[in-house]
Structure 1
């Protein structure tokens, strides 16, 4: 049982996912601080409120004779924060990765290697090489022309 857990924890993608979660949480803290301390008060000032979260109040009478207040500015602030996070993720991660993939595909179509020759092999390429070496040691036919996923 512990051996399986150790293998699970030491997989590359689990460690990468953990790092991504930690960085994402830290980044969310930065965005929350910027939105809460800079953007919300600035937009709230436009609507005569201390912050955007307190803007656009709607007072609703209750059945007991009191009042309940709904702050639609808080919803707008949450949407604004989401849009900022989504924009940063897109422009800092998605767009550069898509650009790199597009350039690699263009290089491949032009007959050039998709990555430079000094780039280390991927995990799948190493596994395919190990598979081929093991097959050659056993005296079997080497499947060197097949893809690593087969």
Structure 2
């Protein structure tokens, strides 16, 4: 139980540190690429639901849907999920599959040895029974 708690604590700390890296990649790489088409700040992308949409902050009028910030958060999530999957989950699942295959291979060899020994013991028993049977006929 303690090992699982430690693993979880390490994962949380690494995840928190990794969030900063992903945010930097989105702000430093993804946003400028989007900026080649429009503006670098995804938060500025919005649609007006109810006119007039003028101003910003508390002086804003109308009803705005800030879909740019949702797009930025979605990009951050997708990048984080992809990196976590390909750098942590996928290698760990392959490692665990290899361990399971090794364990099954070891169990399989034990079963074969046990079955072989059992078959040898049965053959010895049958041979002894046959000798006893042939000995009784002679007497």
How does the TM-score come out when normalised to structure 1?
A: 0.56
- Confirm whether residue 58 of structure 1 aligns to residue 47 of structure 2: yes
Residue 97 (structure 1) aligns with: 92
Q: 1:44, 1:93 → 2: CA distance?
A: 31
- Confirm whether residue 32 of structure 1 aligns to residue 23 of structure 2: yes
* More helix per residue: 2
Deviation at 1:12, TM superposition (A): 3.2
Cα 1:109/1:18, change in 2 over 3 Å? closer
Deviation at 1:78, TM superposition (A): 1.0
Residue 117 (structure 1) aligns with: none
The higher relative CO (CA closer than 8 Å, separation ≥ 6) is in 2
Structure 2 unmatched ranges of 5 or more: 53-59, 108-139
Q: 2:7, 2:101 → 1: CA distance?
A: 28
Cα 1:12/1:107, change in 2 over 3 Å? closer
CA RMSD of aligned residues (A): 2.6
Q: Deviations over 1:85-139 (max 9, x none)?
A: 1111111111011101111222223337xxxxxxxxxxxxxxxxxxxxxxxxxxx
Residue 19 (structure 1) aligns with: 10
Tell me if structure 2 keeps the 8 A contact 1:53–1:77.
yes
Q: 2:34 aligns with which of 32, 38, 43?
A: 43
Point out the structure with max Rg over C-alpha: 2
Structure 1 unmatched ranges of 5 or more: 1-7, 113-150
